[in-house]
Amino acid sequence: MKKTSNNGQPMVDVQNRADGRGIPINKVGVRNLRYPIVIMDRVNEKQPTTAYVTLSVDLPSDFKGTHMSRFVEILNEHHGDLTMWTLPAIVHKLRERLNADSSHVEIAFPYFIEQKAPVSGAKALMDYECTFIGESRGEEDIFILRVKVPVTSLCPCSKEISEYGAHNQRGEILMEVKGEVNGKPEMIWIEELVEIAEASASAPVYALLKRPDERHVTMQAFDNPVFVEDMVRNVALRLQADQRVAWFKVEAENFESIHNHNAFAMIEWTRS
């Protein structure tokens, strides 16, 4: 059935017209779509949050455009349950309804974990930047969990050469992890990656600290000096030891306190 406008004339579907320039498009879709979602929570089972969503497909050279409204329609069908188990359904529907060879989804959101200060026990919520990444291409489906964790690092060199004190700074550890066992997706919790990152740095970063907590964290960092190289290697060793991890990329970056630049290191690894 053809759609008609208010004057009764057929509505032209311009994006279905042929394109003669012979140039395919790798990704076309919608970006920065703000959307309420519910995430699986290790402690509370579910956590509502708000995400920025990117949905895209490839476009062959002979098609002028894609159907942008269908991206939002498909997302609406899964808004109450976005996990590694439902993401394949979304990328498959994108390919099917948009007649695409490949599709890509990124769902970026803040995730909150209740922290307890190390001495006083004061509780507060700490937020972490997280992203679900899903892709379908050919016979392959990919699901990647990305988590960014703020940490404290103290410079081993500074501690070694100084008569007292050492420079420290806040940094970030970014992890992208693909969970898979025997070719099947395997669940890895956001909380697990946060714990790995914090254990791999000089000290965690907290949302709330009392004076006894500040003293504890300061001395903890001084007793555990690490370079960015140390942090990515520490994370890598922990992830390699987890048989659920089929692939990962980890990057550490220090927002240097005595330099006008940042320091970073990155490791990418695939289980053979």
What integer pLDDT is reported at residue 9 of this predicted model? 60
Assess if residue 145 is contained within a domain. yes
More confident call, 185 vs 196? 196
Asked if the model's pLDDT at residue 73 lies above 60, the reply is: yes
The 10s digit of each residue's pLDDT in 235-262 is 999 999 999 999 999 999 999 999 999 9
What integer pLDDT is reported at residue 29 of this predicted model? 93
Q: Give dist(CA 153, CA 134) in Å, integer.
A: 32
Q: Which residues neighbour 192 within 8 Å (Cβ) at sequence distance 6 or greater?
A: 42
Asked if the model's pLDDT at residue 131 lies above 60, the reply is: yes
The 10s digit of each residue's pLDDT in 138-166 is 888 899 999 999 999 999 999 999 999 89
Q: Give dist(CA 136, CA 29) in Å, integer.
A: 15
Do 50 and 30 form a contact (C-beta atoms < 8 A)? no
Assess if residue 14 is contained within a domain. no
What integer pLDDT is reported at residue 4 of this predicted model? 55
What integer pLDDT is reported at residue 1 of this predicted model? 47
Assess if residue 183 is contained within a domain. yes
Residue among 173, 139, 138 at smallest CA distance from 153: 173
Mean pLDDT computed over every residue of the chain: 90
Assess if residue 13 is contained within a domain. no
What integer pLDDT is reported at residue 140 of this predicted model? 84
Assess if residue 209 is contained within a domain. yes
Mean pLDDT, residues 78-106 taken together: 86
Q: Residue 33 belongs to what domain range?
A: 19-270
Percent of the chain scoring above 70 in pLDDT: 92
The 10s digit of each residue's pLDDT in 31-49 is 999 999 888 899 998 899 9
What integer pLDDT is reported at residue 139 of this predicted model? 83
Q: Give dist(CA 92, CA 198) in Å, integer.
A: 36
Q: Give dist(CA 249, CA 131) in Å, integer.
A: 14
Q: Which CATH number does the domain housing residue 165 bear?
A: 3.10.270.10
- To which residue do tokens 């550890």 refer? 173
Amino acid at 272: S
Percent of the chain scoring above 90 in pLDDT: 69
pLDDT class of 5 with cuts at 50, 70, 90:
low
Cα–Cα distances in Å, from 190 out to 24, 51, 123?
A: 36, 15, 19
Assess if residue 212 is contained within a domain. yes
Do 27 and 103 form a contact (C-beta atoms < 8 A)? no
Token pair recorded at residue 225: 């000096």
Amino acid at 8: G
More confident call, 11 vs 189? 189
Q: Give dist(CA 131, CA 52) in Å, integer.
A: 9
Q: Give dist(CA 223, CA 154) in Å, integer.
A: 9
Assess if residue 58 is contained within a domain. yes
Assess if residue 10 is contained within a domain. no
pLDDT class of 184 with cuts at 50, 70, 90:
confident
Count of domains in the chain?
1
Q: What is the pTM of this model?
A: 0.89
Q: Give dist(CA 217, CA 205) in Å, integer.
A: 9
What integer pLDDT is reported at residue 6 of this predicted model? 61
